[in-house]
Chains A and B, each alone.
Chain A
Amino acid sequence: MPTDIARFGVTATSSIDEAVRDADVIMMLRIQLERMEGAFFPSLREYFNVFGMTEARMHLARPDVMIMHPGPMNRGVEIASEVADGPYSVILDQVANGVAVRMAVLYLLAGGAEHEEAA
Chain B
Amino acid sequence: MKRLLKGGRVIDPANGIDGVRDILIDGDHIARVGTDLPADGATVVDVGDGLVVCPGFIDMHVHLREPGQEHKETVATGTASAVAGGFTAVACMPNTSPVNDDANVTTYILDKARQANLARVYPIGAVSRGSKGDLLADIADLRKAGCVAITDDGYPVKTAILLRRALEYASMFGMPVIEHCEDPSLKGDGVAHEGFYAASLGLRGMPGACEALGVERGVLLAELTGSAFHVAHMSARASLRAVRKGKDAGVRVTCEVAPHHFTLTDEALASPVPYDTNTKMNPPLREAADRDAMLDGITDGSVDAIATDHAPHHYDEKQVEFDRAPFGIVGLETAVPLSLDRLVHTGRIRLSRLVELLSVNPARILNVSGGTLSEGMAADITIVAPDMKVRIEASKLRSRSKNTPFDGWELRGGVAATLVGGRPLFVNSAARISL
Contacts and interface: CB of A to CB of B under 8 A. Distances in A.
Contacts of A3: 194-196, 198-199, 205
Contacts of B271: none
B196 A38 contact: no
A94 B199 CA distance: 26
Interface string A2-41: 1111011000000000000000000000000000001000
Interface residues of A, number: 7
B346 interface: no
B19 interface: no
Contacts, number: 15
B188 interface: yes
B188 A2 contact: no
A98 B196 CA distance: 29
Contact of A5 (B188, B198, B199): B199
A114 B292 CA distance: 50
Contacts of B429: none
Question: In the complex, which range does the number of interface residues on chain B fall in?
Answer: under 10
B15 interface: no
A38 B188 CA distance: 9
Contacts of B194: 3
A104 B154 CA distance: 45
B159 interface: no
Contacts of A7: 196
Nearest to A5: B199
A4 B195 contact: yes
Contacts of A5: 199
A4 to B, nearest CB: 4
A101 to B, nearest CB: 20
B238 to A, nearest CB: 15
Contacts of B200: 8
A92 B232 CA distance: 54
B69 to A, nearest CB: 31
Interface of B: 188, 194-196, 198-200, 205
Given A5-B199, A8-B199, 6 more contacts: A3-B194, A3-B195, A3-B196, A3-B198, A3-B205, A38-B188
